Amino acid sequence: MIVRAFRGIPLVRRVWEEVEHGVYVTDDTHFKRLLAGENGAIQPVGFPREDVFKFDPEIAAVMDDLLKSGNWDWTKLVPV
């Protein structure tokens, strides 16, 4: 997934759980630790559905460049 984080920054994250009003996400490292039941794994963070979008590998590959150049466009992503 690509989530709209604080200040509108896009982040690539993994879905941990979907609930009626939102989606709980985490990064790859903590996803693996959570699955393994390890202590110290950071708990998933909830996002409202309007801030969660389907992962697009082509957009994700250039996400940082688009953001730095000011050309990031949320409308190019598909909401969940």
User: What digits encode the pLDDT tens for the residues 24-41?
Assistant: 999 999 999 999 999 888
Joined tokens for residue 32: 């693996």
What pLDDT shows up at residue 76? 94
What pLDDT shows up at residue 39? 87
Q: Which sign does the torsion angle of CA 73, 31, 43, 21 carry? A: positive
Would you kindly state where each structural domain of the chain is located, as residue ranges?
Answer: 2-76
Q: Residue 6 carries which side chain, given as an amino acid letter?
A: F
The rounded distance, in Å, linking the Cα atoms of 72 and 67 is 5
Please give the model's pTM, rounded to 2 decimal places: 0.87
Tally of CB atoms within 10 A around 28: 10
